[in-house]
Amino acid sequence: MEMDKVTFGITMLVCGMGGTLLTLWIMSLIMGVLRKVFPFKEEKQN
Amino acid sequence: MLEAILNGLSGLIAGFQSLDWRSLVMLVVGGVLLYLGIKKECEPLLLVPIGFGCLLVNIPVADIMGKEGFLRVIYNMGVNTELYPLLIFVGIGAMTDFSPLLANPMTFLLGAAGQCGIFLTLLLALGLGFDKLDAVSIGIIGACDGPTAIYVTSKYAPHLLGAVSVAAYSYMSLVPVIQPPIMRLLTTDHERKIVMGSVTGQVSKTTRILFPLVMTVLGGLIAPKGLPLLGTIMLGNLMRESGVVSRLTKASENEIANIVTLFLGLSIGATMAGGAFLNPKTLLILGLGFIAICLDTVCGVLFGKLMCFLSGGKVNPLIGAAGISAFPMAARVVQREGQKYNKKNFLLMHAMGANAGGQVGSVLAAAVMLSVLSGMGVIPH
């Protein structure tokens, strides 16, 4: 059975926006950790 | 002999005889796009070839988008295959410095909030009676990112490509006009004056190299249907940050991006034939595109206000408006607005972080969207 437009729209909003937020939140955590693990060192920069 | 001469002359007036009102209107539209590109310098790299493509395709008899027309060849070569937007993404990745984003990873979230317009506009388009995939393509204008909009639309609603692309690029160039009134409306005088400290710390080369790799793998695993989008922008960025393939980086951000931009612009213009373009749907799409970008700004600023509240007033909510893909235009708008209310306020680097987050966010939102569509069975797995 084909999905109605309301269900489709709400699913896209919840999963789409939720997925985007969640992924970027995870990315922000990972990049925060990587920044701490590999701190900036003046002498190693080009 | 007279008959032969008359027949010969008829060949010279065939174009005029076949000219209908729709072609005439589109010739004017092409002229307006050229005017905006040349005189007003609104996204000239795109609007000039789009406007000229629009002129070419609306000159009757030439059949330039016919089976063997040269615009058809260019269109099939890179729009049908989705190659043009992807090659442009390699160039964008090669041009973009994500350091301000990596220096303050929380701005990733502003880049996510700035994508709300995509999904809210999708809902609006569905409410206005558009088909599901048409609504998805219209919503993607809210990504405020031309190549993303073109990639998704050419794949799932190619008949809307002209309208969606024109809307995406036109509104992107209008960001400095569209955003400030919304920013002022949603923030208080006190909030606009909040001074943010300097962006703390620089980012090591290792972190900058790991970013595109982590993003590709994580994003690809979460949203595999959008991996071409994510993969190409991150490839460009990896080449830039690694510093070992400067020839490839330069080619990606210059020669390849320039050639593809020309072909892409012409291809978009070629979809603007009067018969297909002039219908009420086009006007609706232009209207919805405008709403999409307004909603992006609204959600971005509101999220900025939330961050301001949670941080105890340390975040200026204006930077939320930069969480869109129009890079670095949106960041400059934030800087300008912030300085209007407090001359000592330098929001640029914070806004650049949010703006870079918006670039990643728009690509990721499209990728997530495609994977959700695939999961629901709306598009093939």
User: Is B279 within the bounds of a domain?
Assistant: yes
Best A4, A6, A11, A20 residue to mutate vs chain B (most B CBs within 10 Å): A20
- B235: phi then psi, degrees, rounded to nearest 5: -60, -45
Please give the pLDDT value at position B163. 93
Q: How confident is the model over B365-380, as pLDDT tens digits?
A: 999 999 999 999 999 8
ipTM of the complex: 0.91
Helix axis angle, B205-222 relative to A18-37, nearest 10°?
Answer: 150
The shortest C-alpha distance from B37 to chain A (Å) reads 33
SS3 A40: coil
Please give the pLDDT value at position B87. 96
Asked if residues B183 and B294 have their Cβ atoms less than 8 Å apart, the reply is no
Nearest to A38 among B106, B126, B206 (CB): B206
What's the average model confidence in pLDDT over B338-347?
Answer: 90
Percent of chain B with pLDDT over 70: 99
Q: Provide the number of structural domains found in chain B.
A: 1
Please give the pLDDT value at position B90. 96
User: Is B31 within the bounds of a domain?
Assistant: no
Task: Please judge whether B371 and A19 are an interchain contact, meaning their C-beta atoms are less than 8 angstroms apart.
Answer: yes
What's the average model confidence in pLDDT over B17-33?
Answer: 94
Using the structure block, give the residue that is written with the tokens 């700035």: B114
What's the average model confidence in pLDDT over B31-55?
Answer: 92
Residue span of the structural domain in which B299 resides: 84-376
Q: How many Å apart are CA B267 and CA B269, to the nearest integer? A: 5
pLDDT-based confidence at residue B55 (cuts at 50, 70, 90): very high
Residue A4 touches partner B, C-beta closer than 8 Å: no
Residues of B within 8 A of A40 (CB-CB) are: 201-204
User: Is B189 within the bounds of a domain?
Assistant: yes
Q: Which of residues 10-39 of A touch B (CB under 8 A)?
A: 10-13, 15-17, 19-21, 23-32, 34-35, 38-39
Asked if residues B330 and B321 have their Cβ atoms less than 8 Å apart, the reply is yes
Closest CA to B320 of B288, B341, B291, B295: B295
User: Is B341 within the bounds of a domain?
Assistant: yes
pLDDT-based confidence at residue A17 (cuts at 50, 70, 90): very high
What's the average model confidence in pLDDT over B261-289?
Answer: 93
What's the average model confidence in pLDDT over B251-262?
Answer: 96
pLDDT surpassing 60 at residue A44: no
User: Is B381 within the bounds of a domain?
Assistant: no
Using the structure block, give the residue that is written with the tokens 């997530």: B368
Q: How many Å apart are CA B157 and CA B132, to the nearest integer? A: 10
Asked if residues B148 and B325 have their Cβ atoms less than 8 Å apart, the reply is yes
The shortest C-alpha distance from B49 to chain A (Å) reads 33
Q: How confident is the model over B168-213, as pLDDT tens digits?
A: 988 888 899 999 999 999 999 999 999 998 776 689 999 999 999 9
User: Is B69 within the bounds of a domain?
Assistant: no
Please give the pLDDT value at position B70. 94
Closest CA to B237 of B213, B221, B259: B213
The shortest C-alpha distance from A27 to chain B (Å) reads 7
Q: How many Å apart are CA B110 and CA B46, to the nearest integer? A: 27
Residues of A within 8 A of B211 (CB-CB) are: 31, 34
Task: Please judge whether A24 and B108 are an interchain contact, meaning their C-beta atoms are less than 8 angstroms apart.
Answer: yes
Please give the pLDDT value at position B150. 93
Residue B361 touches partner A, C-beta closer than 8 Å: yes
Average model confidence (pLDDT) across chain B: 93
Least confident residue range of A35-39, B197-201, B273-277: B197-201
Which residue in A has a C-alpha nearest to residue B132's C-alpha? Answer: A5
pLDDT surpassing 90 at residue A31: yes
What's the average model confidence in pLDDT over B104-108?
Answer: 92
Percentages of chain B per state (helix, strand, coil), in multiples of 5: 75, 0, 25
The shortest C-alpha distance from A19 to chain B (Å) reads 6
Q: Which residue has the higher pLDDT, B250 or B276?
A: B250
Q: Exposure of B300 by Cβ count < 10 A (0-12 exposed, 13-18 middle, 19+ buried)? A: buried
Q: Which of residues 202-221 of B touch A (CB under 8 A)?
A: 202-207, 210-211, 214-215, 218-219
**What single-letter DSSP state applies at residue B325?**
S
User: Is B222 within the bounds of a domain?
Assistant: yes
Task: Please judge whether B108 and A16 are an interchain contact, meaning their C-beta atoms are less than 8 angstroms apart.
Answer: no
Predicted TM-score (pTM) of this structure: 0.91
User: Is B91 within the bounds of a domain?
Assistant: yes
Amino acid at A14: V
> Which distant-in-sequence residues (6+ apart) come within 8 Å of B336 by Cβ?
none
Best-predicted range by mean pLDDT (A42-46, B165-169, B331-335) = B331-335
Nearest to A24 among B103, B112, B373 (CB): B112
Q: Exposure of A7 by Cβ count < 10 A (0-12 exposed, 13-18 middle, 19+ buried)? A: exposed
Kindly report the number of other CB atoms within 10 A of residue B381's CB atom.
8
Residue B233 touches partner A, C-beta closer than 8 Å: no
Asked if residues B359 and B146 have their Cβ atoms less than 8 Å apart, the reply is no
